[in-house]
């Protein structure tokens, strides 16, 4: 079974953005040339690929990671920068498939995910402007009732971080706006510079022996007793393949590609604000997010944008 794909020309630079302009390290990895063998070949140099590489290398496996563009080139390096507990809403809908315990485990994974990021930043001393503090913003009274249920469930799951419900008259503690009718503070979530996190994780992976390659788009995958992962100038043979491409599968695996739906999220950075302006808008420097379907989410950068 072969997977073949025609790829557009790839970029050797990060997409122009505030994050790329404020990156605190410049990493350059070679393009793959020739043939390599490894226990695991990972395709994709975003958070999924990088953290899989770190985890496996720490367990003693040899890992090769291939990135078509630059490390953190995709959404991992240009997102809203909010580090929030959870894996999404409505996981109860999967109970008929995975059972009540399975649903509970999914919810616990959503808490563990933030702890893994916290631990990696501490272990590898990654400078990425990590700031704790997040507030869900209620657009209508029913949202505040939902927050109370969320808080009770989080406590039942053993969530160890401070949480607090805010009434309408308390909202100016966290946001300089009159449009919200309540909120829920969560001090176990927060915000950071996502590209600097990705670059720090890449450096951590390399320190553990992971071989990283950029400008190495995968053109074909041959499956068999081992996988053969082809790029324009090289091949990786491995016992295990990890596809961490998200939106950029580009036809490499039709089973996965058929389950990816496009969604747009748009981020803009202001000019730097004065200390007084920043404090008036987000007094406690928290990450903020409302509850609409087409939601607004915002925060301050380290230089008060």
Provide the β-strand partners of residue 120: none
Q: Is the pLDDT of residue 115 over 90?
A: yes
Q: Would you say residue 5 has pLDDT above 70?
A: no
Q: Which structural domains are found in the chain, ordered by start?
A: 2-78+195-257 (3.50.50.60), 82-192+270-298 (3.30.9)
Bridge partners of 64, per DSSP, are: 41, 211
Rounded Cα distance between 170 and 137, Å, is: 12
The two structure tokens encoding residue 71? 């490390």
What is the reported pLDDT for 30?
A: 97
Cα–Cα dist 143/55, whole Å: 37
Among residues 111, 107, 44, the alpha carbon closest in space to that of 76 is found at 44
H or E stretch at 257: helix 254-257
Q: Give the pLDDT mean for 56-68.
A: 98
What is the average per-residue pLDDT within 187-205? 98
Looking at residue 15, its pLDDT comes to 83
CA–CA dist 186, 242 (Å, integer): 33
Kindly compute the dihedral angle of the four CA atoms of residues 177, 179, 184, 187, in this order, to the nearest 10 degrees.
Answer: -30
- Residue 264 pLDDT more than 90? no
* Residue-wise pLDDT tens digits, 152-182: 999 999 999 999 999 999 999 999 999 999 9
Give yes or no for residue 245 having a pLDDT over 70.
Answer: yes
Which pLDDT value is given to residue 247?
A: 87
Between strands 131-138 and 163-166, the pairing is unpaired
Burial class (CB in 10 A: 0-12, 13-18, 19+), 215: buried
Q: Which two tokens stand for residue 305?
A: 């944008």
pTM (2 d.p.) = 0.93
pLDDT at 1 over 50: no
Q: Return the number of other C-beta atoms located less than 10 Å from residue 155's C-beta.
A: 11
CB 198 within 8 A of CB 46: yes
Q: How many Cβ atoms from other residues are within 10 Å of residue 151's Cβ? A: 18
Tokens for 44, please give them.
């994709």
Supply φ then ψ for residue 220, to 5 degrees.
-160, 145
Backbone angles phi, psi at 132, to 5 degrees: -90, 145
Q: Mean pLDDT for the chain?
A: 93
């Amino acid at each position: 079974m072969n997977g073949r794909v025609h790829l557009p020309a790839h970029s050797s630079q990060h997409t122009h953005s505030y994050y790329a302009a404020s990156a605190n390290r410049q990493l350059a990895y070679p393009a793959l040339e020739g043939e390599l063998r490894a226990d695991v070949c990972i395709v994709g140099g975003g958070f999924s690929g990088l953290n899989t590489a770190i985890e496996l290398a720490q367990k003693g496996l040899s890992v090769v990671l291939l990135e078509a563009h630059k490390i953190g080139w995709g959404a991992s390096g240009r997102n809203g920068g909010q580090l929030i507990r959870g894996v999404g809403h409505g996981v109860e809908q999967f109970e008929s498939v995975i059972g009540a315990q399975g649903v509970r485990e999914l919810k616990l994974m959503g808490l563990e995910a933030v702890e893994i990021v916290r631990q990696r930043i501490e272990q590898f001393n990654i400078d990425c402007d990590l700031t704790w503090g997040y507030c869900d913003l209620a657009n209508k009274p029913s949202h505040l009732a939902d927050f109370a249920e969320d808080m009770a469930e989080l406590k039942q799951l053993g969530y160890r971080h401070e949480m607090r419900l805010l009434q309408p008259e308390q909202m100016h503690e966290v946001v300089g706006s009159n449009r919200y009718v309540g909120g829920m503070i969560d001090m176990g979530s927060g915000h950071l510079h996502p590209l600097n996190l990705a670059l720090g994780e890449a450096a951590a992976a390399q320190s553990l022996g992971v071989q990283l390659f950029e400008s190495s788009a995968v053109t074909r995958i041959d499956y068999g007793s081992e996988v053969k992962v082809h790029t324009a100038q090289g091949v990786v043979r491995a016992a295990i393949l990890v596809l961490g491409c998200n939106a950029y599968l580009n036809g490499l695996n039709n089973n996965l590609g058929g389950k990816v739906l496009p969604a747009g999220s748009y981020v803009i950075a202001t000019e730097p604000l004065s200390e007084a302006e920043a404090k008036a808008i987000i007094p406690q420097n928290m990450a903020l997010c409302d509850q609409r379907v087409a939601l607004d989410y915002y925060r301050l950068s380290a230089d008060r944008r």
